[in-house]
Chain A
Amino acid sequence: MASLRCFLRSGKNAVSAGLRREFHRTPPAAVQVTVRDALNQAMDEELERDERVFLLGEEVAQYDGAYKISRGLWKKYGDKRIIDTPITEMGFAGIAVGAAMAGLRPICEFMTFNFSMQAIDQVINSAAKTYYMSAGLQPIPIVFRGPNGASAGVAAQHSQCFAAWYSHCPGLKVVSPWSAEDSKGLLKSAIRDDNPVVFLENELMYGVPFEMSEEAQSKDFIIPIGKAKLERQGNHVTLVSHSRMVSLCLDAAAVLAKEGIECEVINMRTIRPLDAEAIETSIMKTNHLITVEGGWPQFGVGAEILARIMEGPAFNYLDAPAVRVTGVDIPMPYAKILEDNSIPQIKDIIFSVKKTLNV
């Protein structure tokens, strides 16, 4: 439901996405691509492009991926490039980092980022810090990817958002795509990047289709890491978000537009390095800031954004305190009604906008 709405929100007419290219006079053909397929394409293209790229993780090969993200890859590339691991995160994450040290370009999949906690020492101490500790002698070109944050009904141990945890550490790049284009372009960039990249996907977004332009369908389409995207222009308030929450911001913006409130929605795309400039530029126009995230409030992504805005040139442009919309500060409950009320809903965003604008 949310996916359909969000798809319509993208402002383009679904019907005109010319699926059949019959006449030379039709405009370049965009197609509908799910986030899942976009990620799959990105990995497929990069595996083809560079012999050193390989994928390892639980169920990535013969199972086609726990969430089917790596569907078809094992059949195409075989045991050498697509490796099923035992359920030993610390071990296989370390093996992935070691392989990167010795010249390969691994994609290390965590079935969800909750399990990455078992391996977090390898991500931080072995991957993130090594280039610095070696004063440039030992780069680590690795991607850690997998679904992050809340899903649906998977309860407390399987619902944590790790954006803040990983973004805290220098030496890592942390990426959080929203759309299919984001997913494809950013994953390709991450794989081509010579540094450790934590790539935070979202399980609830996997099945969501987005329009993908012809340009984005090309094998060389990459989106630079570290640059946010303006998804919707507006004058009254800046909404900054990442991953699935971008959909909610756009939905909230549509509702508010009916009341004459125009929200500017920024899709962060990258959490670290944070594109503070994009946010500042927007604030200088709208004078109001609200960050929206699925993770917990304390020491979170929103907290960092607000601190940076306080310390930067945009502070003087704020007409009201900047605020954060976040997940509730509790472990994730199971019952649907409780779960629904543990993460931001569209009404929470609308409420916060109106409070900030004092309307």
Chain B
Amino acid sequence: MRKMLTIISNILRGSASRNGAELVSEGARVVVSARTYADFTPQATFDIKKCDLHKLEEGPPLQAVLSREEGLQYYRTMQTMRRMELKADQLYKQKIIRGFCHLYDGQEACAVGIEAGINLSDHLITAYRAHGYTLTRGGTVREIMAELTGRRGGIAKGKGGSMHMYTKHFYGGNGIVGAQVPLGAGVALACKYLGKNELCVCLYGDGAANQGQIFETYNMASLWKLPCIFICENNKYGMGTSVERAAASTDYYKRGDFIPGLRVDGMDVLCVREATKLAAEHCRSGKGPILMELQTYRYHGHSMSDPGVSYRTRDEIQEVRSKSDPISMLKDRMLSNNMASVEELKEIDVEVRKEIEDAAQFATTDPEPPLDDLCNHIFYNDPPMEVRGTNPWTKLKSVS
């Protein structure tokens, strides 16, 4: 076994490096753990794409260091996200999930990269394509899927659905396009007010980027120097409208005008991470808000009711999948630098698949919320009250 792995890793090491990755030999031959695996490279440095800058002196570094542990963790999270979204697709087609379902597959590097650049004690808010962020912010696959299927074990007890999932320091999941941006700045205001050196990451899409309230928010965030990282996830299409047809200026990272901005390769988790680190440093040093545009892509249509091919070509989708898939990119990097083995990654895939299957099983078998819960959670910290039912004789009970 050991011999076979050594042979394989030798072969992989010998193959041409991808993306100009270089191997830093820092005792690379030393066995890192007590596992029976062959020696793995504990960390490697990779070249990452240069970011376009707007009113910024310096961008993120052009190289990123990735440790084996980090790599495995990013891989696992992105794979979990990917499989979770694909399972949601399946369940939706089986009509077990209903209503709106906006899938995130293709954009995994954004959510994972951002989380890698901030702390869990920081805050984050996004729009409706939110399943990935619910995961990175501490939600479990089980409770996310059960929320999609509308069961009592869902993260919002089945009352929110796809677009309204919340965890600690994660403010959803918001259905109204653009409304989350002022909310995020408000969270940042609270961070500054309470003086805990926390910041708020405030996400929106290329479609939302034209919303007036976002410009109102840029103004106030800048005036009051709020610790807010505005992030535009530009997946090139706002529903079915391409960016060229929606925006007079598609340089979303410049739209903040007086707010410094950078345009980032959103398919590369390391690029996203380094940019986020820079942005976080900017905010925490009291300089005020900063804007990041992540260039990314969604494989699915806008939502489950959109096949996603009437306004773009299948070729385009296929091209991105084969050339820029975020998970493949990370996998190739790790394998070609002997940071993990094919088996190891396969094992992670198997574990992830099992986790998703279990979650789907739970999500399809958990009972729906009890009818008693219908009127609860109207008010917080209030005595129980009566709510009118559908007719005057029906009085329903509501508790906080």
Interface residue ranges, A against B (CB under 8 Å): 54, 80, 83, 85-86, 88, 90-104, 121-122, 125-126, 130-139, 141, 170-171, 173, 194-195, 273, 311-312
In the assembled complex, the CB of A172 is this many whole angstroms from the nearest CB of chain B, namely 10
Contacts A94-B217, A135-B160 hold; do A101 and B186 have CB atoms under 8 A apart? Answer: yes
Q: Which of B183, B217, B223 contacts A126 (CB 8 A)?
A: B183
In the assembled complex, the CB of A258 is this many whole angstroms from the nearest CB of chain B, namely 39
**Contact between chains at A91 and B220 (CB < 8 Å):** yes
**Contact between chains at B182 and A133 (CB < 8 Å):** no
In the assembled complex, the CB of B16 is this many whole angstroms from the nearest CB of chain A, namely 49
The reply to whether the CB of B382 lies closer than 8 angstroms to some CB of chain A is yes
The reply to whether the CB of B207 lies closer than 8 angstroms to some CB of chain A is no
Of the listed stretches B22-30, B82-90, B345-353, B372-380, name the one at the interface; the rest are far from the partner chain: B372-380
- CB-CB < 8 A to A138: which residues of B? 166, 171-172
Interface residue ranges, B against A (CB under 8 Å): 123, 125, 156-160, 164, 166-167, 171-172, 174-176, 179, 181-191, 193-194, 200, 212-213, 216-217, 219-220, 223-224, 376-382, 385, 387, 392, 400
CB-nearest residue of chain B to A142:
B186
**Contact between chains at A133 and B164 (CB < 8 Å):** yes
Contacts A136-B400, A138-B166 hold; do A91 and B217 have CB atoms under 8 A apart? Answer: yes
- CB-CB < 8 A to B157: which residues of A? 135-136
Contacts A86-B220, A132-B378 hold; do A98 and B182 have CB atoms under 8 A apart? Answer: yes
Q: Which of B186, B200, B379 contacts A94 (CB 8 A)?
A: B186
Q: Which of A80, A91, A102, A194 contacts B213 (CB 8 A)?
A: A91
Q: Which of A90, A96, A101, A137 contacts B156 (CB 8 A)?
A: A137
Contacts A98-B187, A98-B190, A121-B176 hold; do A131 and B378 have CB atoms under 8 A apart? Answer: yes
- CB-CB < 8 A to B224: which residues of A? 83
CA distance A134 to B220 in the complex (A): 28
CA distance A122 to B186 in the complex (A): 12
In the assembled complex, the CB of B235 is this many whole angstroms from the nearest CB of chain A, namely 24
CB-nearest residue of chain B to A94:
B182
- CB-CB < 8 A to B212: which residues of A? 90
**Contact between chains at A99 and B190 (CB < 8 Å):** yes
**Contact between chains at A90 and B182 (CB < 8 Å):** yes
What are 10 inter-chain pairs, A to B, with CB distance below 8 A? A91-B220, A95-B217, A96-B186, A98-B125, A98-B182, A98-B187, A99-B193, A101-B190, A134-B164, A134-B166
Count of chain A to chain B residue pairs whose CB atoms are closer than 8 Å in the complex? 152
**Contact between chains at A195 and B189 (CB < 8 Å):** no
**Contact between chains at A95 and B380 (CB < 8 Å):** no
- CB-CB < 8 A to B392: which residues of A? 311-312
- CB-CB < 8 A to A96: which residues of B? 186
**Contact between chains at B219 and A86 (CB < 8 Å):** yes
CB-nearest residue of chain A to B182:
A94
Name the 3 nearest CB pairs between A and B, nearest first.
A98-B186, A94-B182, A91-B216
**Contact between chains at B219 and A54 (CB < 8 Å):** no
- CB-CB < 8 A to A173: which residues of B? 379
**Contact between chains at A99 and B377 (CB < 8 Å):** no
Contacts A133-B160, A135-B156, A135-B160 hold; do A94 and B381 have CB atoms under 8 A apart? Answer: no
**Contact between chains at A98 and B166 (CB < 8 Å):** no
CA distance A92 to B385 in the complex (A): 32
CB-nearest residue of chain A to B216:
A91
CA distance A270 to B219 in the complex (A): 36
CB-nearest residue of chain A to B393:
A311
**Contact between chains at B174 and A98 (CB < 8 Å):** no
CB-nearest residue of chain A to B161:
A133
**Contact between chains at B156 and A121 (CB < 8 Å):** no
CA distance A100 to B183 in the complex (A): 9
**Contact between chains at B400 and A94 (CB < 8 Å):** no
CA distance A99 to B123 in the complex (A): 12
- CB-CB < 8 A to A125: which residues of B? 175-176, 179
Q: Which of A91, A98, A132, A273 contacts B219 (CB 8 A)?
A: A91
Contacts A101-B171, A125-B176 hold; do A94 and B190 have CB atoms under 8 A apart? Answer: no
